[in-house]
A and B are shown apart, each in its own frame.
Chain A
Amino acid sequence: MTLLEVTNVTKKFGGVTAIDEVSFRAEAGRVLALIGPNGAGKSTMFNVISGNYAPTSGTLRFDDRDVTGANSVAMSRLGVSRTFQKIRLFKALSVMDNVVIGAQSSAPVAPWRFFFGGGAVRAAAAETRKHALEMLDLVGLGDVGDVRADTLSYGQQRMLEIARALATKPRLLLIDEPAAGLNQAEADGLVRRLRLIRDQGITLMLVEHNMDLVMDIAEDIVVMNFGKKIAQGAPREIQENPDVIRAYLGEEAMA
């Protein structure tokens, strides 16, 4: 089943075209990686899917609904959650609070009802905390819930962002460069945890530069360069695709 369908999406900033007529589909329950050299438009694509940017043209369908132009609040409520390339945690809050805030948005009890208290509300609060703790355990941060988020190591902060996004109970999780700044051991742990997340039935989309990791975990790959989609396929096909090789070699030659 197709969960997300991106059709002919273009995003322009002033005169610059960051994404140019890109189309692809993300199948439910699978891991899709979006790769390409720097400046290819991958993060912009994430921002379009998550509702942070409105596409200049083209359409987005999520779960068989037209969601073109829906903002990030609406996308989150529809079940699309994300992490950020440049980590954006609630720094001064505790690790637990970061995740609880995420979990609250998927809780059945609206925040204002807490003003009046009552049994249902207390039960919901307990449920929210339990869910948040599960998410923290899932990313391996279960025992540091009480510390301030900005005291975590860089790798832990990335995992916390994932836990926070997961707490919203998304159906599609967009993860932007999860392995950036991680050491090998942390990257291995990341792969294991991403698999656990996928096994819960959550569709994953990631932007990632670490090719070992991508080839290890991705089931479908979309390759972008200069805002255009240049290839799509299974990891093995992508590795042998001459356009992809040229795009990457070109980048290395320039660097």
Chain B
Amino acid sequence: MFSSLARQQWVRSSLPVLVAAVVIMTAPSLVTGSFWQRVIILALFNVVLAMSLNLVIGYTGLLALGHGAFLGIGAYTSAVLTTTYEWAFWAAFFVAGITAAACGLLLAVITLRLRGHYLAIATLGFAVIVYQVLMNWIDVTRGPLGIPGIPTPPNIPLGNGTELDFGLPAAHIYLAGAFAIVCYVLIRRIVNSPMGDALRAVREDEISAKSLGIRTFAWKCFAFTVAAFAAGLTGSLYAGYMGILEPSAFVLTVSFTLLAMVIVGGAGTLVGPVIGALVLTIVPEALREVGPEYRMILYGLALTLVVLFFPQGLVGIGAALRSRFRSSSRSKPDEPPSDSTGTGFAKEVPVDAS
């Protein structure tokens, strides 16, 4: 029935998902310490945030500096609905995503006629505004006091009499992991289809894209809205996991760390932000013994060095190493990079041997 090519494609697209699923299923039994279980959950949230930001920065080429704001909007929407209004968690979850998406669309419509630096600053300004609203809209958000007592998601019966108990970190690992995998698959669907082509066309040359009949403004709004939606949903899960929210969790620094994850991992590639998010969440925690300041120093250093010396991020370094290994072992001339889609707003020719 299937040609070998189709089978190969199926393996290539399903294998990473299966591996990720197995890793997530076994993670709670392999990593039992509560500290590291927490790190895993936060890393999975960051994976989704970085992947969604990458849709905007890497694929559409729009430098948005305020992605953390959508996380905050989603988290607070969900928290307020489940505490003050006693909504069911999953209803609040979807409303959180939709609220963030609506804010994303609004921001997009206001600012997306701007280009480059103006857009970067507009999104920065948006993040500041959101933070200030969280701090000052005390009737709703309780301001700096934060919102305590946010309920976890309801336990999920597993059929054989047991339940997925969200009182335990393991359940949050499963939920965050499943959510990350679903997001990965859906984002892959977008970027590997003509939708992704349209986004890349916007990134590469807007004037050309328009002359080919691509409605660039609509596509930019699309990227912004989808990214905000994903971030809003993540915020809801974050609120459900943390149980307490404070505005300080959504300062500008959060947006910058997400930017670092995308760029360090490799903007404009599917796995880049995943790797970036995992590395930049887990490695700094391993360094926590040395001193908490080193965490952000690592972010700053990694971001600066990657932009200066490895414009295609960790993914690019990996690809370069692989092709060097291949060419030296088989003495074949360097092949063009396997990811012919380029790498985010890096419009440079990849560094090659010549």
Contact = CB atoms under 8 A, between A and B. Distances in A.
B207 A111 contact: no
Of A52, A106, A111, A165, most buried by chain B (CB within 10 Å of CB) is A111
A77 B205 contact: no
B213 A92 contact: no
Nearest to B347: A92
Interface string B189-232: 11001110110110011011111111110000000000000000
B194 A111 contact: yes
A115 B190 contact: yes
Interface string B161-195: 00000000000000000000000001001100111
Nearest to B218: A73
A236 interface: no
Given A101-B214, A147-B336, A92 B342 contact: yes
B198 A93 contact: no
Contacts of A130: none
A90 interface: yes
A125 B192 CA distance: 11
A164 B197 CA distance: 13
Nearest to A145: B340
Interface in B316-354: 336-337, 340-343, 346-347, 349
B336 A146 contact: yes
Given A52-B207, A73-B215, A91 B347 contact: yes
A101 to B, nearest CB: 5
A90 B336 contact: no
A88 B205 contact: yes
B interface bracket (residues with beta carbon within 8 Å of A): 20 to 34
B213 A76 contact: yes
Given A92-B343, A146-B340, A150-B349, A114 B201 contact: no
A164 B198 contact: no
Contacts of B208: 84, 88-90, 164
Nearest to A164: B212
A221 B93 CA distance: 64
Contact of A112 (B195, B205, B212, B214): B195
Contacts of A84: 207-208, 211
B204 A94 contact: no
A168 interface: yes
Interface of B: 186, 189-190, 193-195, 197-198, 200-201, 204-205, 207-216, 336-337, 340-343, 346-347, 349
25 contacts: A52-B207, A72-B207, A72-B211, A73-B210, A73-B213, A73-B214, A76-B211, A77-B213, A89-B205, A90-B200, A90-B201, A92-B342, A93-B204, A94-B341, A100-B197, A101-B197, A101-B198, A101-B209, A105-B212, A115-B189, A115-B193, A115-B195, A148-B337, A148-B349, A168-B213
User: 3 smallest A-B Cβ distances: which pairs?
Assistant: A92-B342, A114-B193, A76-B213
Interface of A: 50, 52, 71-73, 76-77, 81-82, 84, 88-94, 97, 100-102, 104-107, 111-112, 114-115, 117, 125, 128, 146-148, 150-151, 164-165, 168
Given A52-B207, A72-B210, A115-B189, 6 more contacts: A81-B211, A84-B207, A90-B204, A97-B200, A114-B194, A151-B336
